[in-house]
Amino acid sequence: QVQLAESGGGSVQAGGSLRLSCAASGYIARRYCLGWVRQAPGKEREAVALIDSNGSTLYADSVKGRFTISKDNAKNALYLQMNGLKPEDTAMYYCAARSTSGGTWRDPTSYGYWGQGINVTVSS
């Protein structure tokens, strides 16, 4: 049973925009905080944004002001609007879920559910 499934990745030039979507199962969407975690080639995974059940959001400094996380509770959907993309944003992006919004939200190992990932490539 697929719990999280990403869509919307692709290739874009620097300065461009992309919107990632994640379809979540109702079980996950109702009980967990949802976030986006990325992994660039040769680098460790990095949590970039999180949204909790109340709609409060958290962002990594590397994307603050450029990325916006949001969700549609009626559709059990999570989104990541990425503007002002930079080559260093090139990575595999994963939709992920964890039980709380506090604590070590930046720690990728604190996420218990993961999508299959989707590629984002930003060219200079």
- pLDDT of res. 53: 87
Q: Which residues of the chain have pLDDT under 70?
A: none
For tokens 């002001």, name the residue: 65
The strand pair at 113-114 and 118-123 is best described as unpaired
pLDDT of residue 103: 76
Residue 25: its pLDDT value, please? 93
Burial of residue 43 (number of CB atoms within 10 Å: 0-12, 13-18, 19+): exposed
Confidence at residue 99, expressed as pLDDT on a 0 to 100 scale:
87
The pLDDT value given to residue 30: 87
Residue 101 CA neighbour count, 13 Å, CB half = 14
Helices and strands, number each (H, E), in the chain: 1, 11
The C-alpha R_g of the chain, in whole angstroms, comes to: 13
Distance CA 25, CA 83 (A): 27
